[in-house]
Amino acid sequence: MTFRLLTYNIRTGGRGRVDALATVIASATPDVVLLQEATDASVVRELAGRLGMASFQTFPRQSLAYMSRTPVHTAKWVRPRFSRHAFVEVALDPRLHVFGVHLSAVLSAWTERRRLFELRALLRSIERHEPGFHVLAGDFNTVAPGDTFDRQRLPLRLQPFVWMSGGRIRWRTIQQVRDAGYVDAYRLQHPDEPGLTLPTSNPHVRLDYVFVPDGYATRVAACDVVRHPEGIHASDHYPVMADLEI
């Protein structure tokens, strides 16, 4: 059996863009949607209604939310000890856990260190699931080693942060995910394509990822960036979709 996962940063709550967001999400026909910057519960509720989702949940004062086409077994918001950011854990059934991630923003050396700390806290929290199939997905707000990153194409408001970091950032967070035994689903399917997800007006960086344990790499049937024409009106991120066999 295959299920389709979509991870989507809907930008600052999504208010005023529900039509566009619903169009983009519906085009991908996902079974489960992980949302970031989903700070407006009314938007998530309306999206779930329009998309026919049987289950959805937002988390007060947090970025993360989810929607599912079928009822889920359990769902909870988890903040690891000493971490500033939480993740959402959704158990579609007792055998399959999906973890939604939204790491600290801003591309700089010091925020990369913060993301690395947050990621390590997340990995410690999910160690009990490591022997089985599970998924990490979301907006990691960082660049994978070897991926495209053109500092000159960043919005002007962000360029000073890179400059203050010495003009160079050592990208370690995604490597840490790999070292922990996970495979990048998009890169697995598209080794030579950039997979850029931000900004929708002129994509030049990949910040959104889906990971599965290395031992389950063969369960990744597909992984793609959803570049629907309405995406530019819906958010500053394009969503990422993955078909996973369970």
Q: Are 51 and 32 in contact (CB under 8 A)?
A: no
Q: How far is CA 84 from CA 11, 62, 78, 103, 218, in A?
A: 20, 11, 11, 9, 34
Query: pLDDT tens digits, the chain, 246 residues: what are they?
Result: 899 999 999 999 999 999 999 999 999 999 999 999 999 999 999 999 999 999 999 988 789 999 999 999 999 998 887 677 789 999 998 888 999 999 988 777 778 888 999 999 999 988 887 788 999 999 999 999 989 776 666 655 555 555 455 456 778 999 999 999 999 999 999 999 999 999 999 999 999 999 999 999 999 999 999 999 999 999 999 999 999 998
pTM across the whole model: 0.93
Q: Are 123 and 160 in contact (CB under 8 A)?
A: no
| Ordered structural domains, the chain, with CATH | 2-245 (3.60.10.10)
Distance, CA of 141 to CA of 209 (rounded, Å): 10
Burial of 151: CB neighbours in 10 Å, binned 0-12, 13-18, 19+: middle
Amino acid at 86: A
Distance, CA of 70 to CA of 96 (rounded, Å): 14
Q: How far is CA 105 from CA 25, 40, 110, in A?
A: 23, 19, 11
